Amino acid sequence: MQRKTDNLSSIASKVGLQISYEKTNIMKTPMASNADITLESKMIKITEQFTYLGSNFDCTGNVKKEIMIRIGKATSAFKSLNKIWNCKLYSIKTKLRIFNSNVVSILTYASESWKMTKDIESKLNAFENRCLRKIMNIKWNEFRRSDEIRDMSGQPLVTTVIRKRRWRYVGHTLRRNDQRIPKQALKWEANG
């Protein structure tokens, strides 16, 4: 890793760029070596998690915090559109299109890299069901099953949408050149 950092710094300086020591952090996975990484003779700060392009990354690969952040952001987006959900002038179809473009897109941002568990799937589906109940004006005391609400709306499960996105990303990665890092990571096998 030190060699790659030195190479990046060298190539960057050749084109007039300088890596900012203050803004640079490294995140080591549990299996990584404990060797320190330096930049211009200064040790780079080690972090256990960081945010990059709006996504939260954890050194253990746990995405639970990222999911909760996504649900929080999607909730804010959903609540900001309350006037639309309460308005009788818009059809359910129009409301669902607005929901998909403004809420589901936030909820599923960068979901291609998520490790899905039953717990995470249930949290995502529960959030979506709450939203669909509000959009379709179904009160909490009206006993409607989730699959019944889904049939009425014609909306696919958000976890199904995520699954399709993941498969699309895998296909895209497999069609890439063998020298590309995502393809190498996809085909990587642990020694031993």
Q: What is the pLDDT of residue 178?
A: 85
**98 and 30 in a common domain:** no
CA distance 2 to 96: 50
Q: What does the mean pLDDT of the chain come to?
A: 86
What's the predicted TM-score (pTM) here? 0.76
55, part of any domain? no
Q: What is the pLDDT of residue 128?
A: 96
| Domain count within the chain | 2
Backbone angles phi, psi at 39, to 5 degrees: -135, 115
**71 and 119 in a common domain:** yes
161: enclosing H helix or E strand: helix 158-174
Judge whether residue 113 has pLDDT over 60: yes
114, part of any domain? yes
Mean pLDDT score, 143-166: 90
CA distance 112 to 138: 31
Q: What is the pLDDT of residue 182?
A: 79
Read off the pLDDT of residues 18-60 as tens digits, 9 standing for 90 and up. 877 777 777 777 666 667 777 777 778 777 777 778 787 877 7
- Residue 120 makes CB contacts below 8 A (sequence gap 6+) with 63, 64, 67, 114
Judge whether residue 127 has pLDDT over 60: yes
DSSP per residue over 64-106, as a string?
HHHHHHHHHHHHHHHHHTHHHHH-SSS-HHHHHHHHIIIIIHH
**81 and 23 in a common domain:** no
Q: What is the pLDDT of residue 33?
A: 65
Range of the domain at 145: 62-169
**32 and 67 in a common domain:** no
Q: Give the Cβ contact number of residue 68 at 10 Å.
A: 13
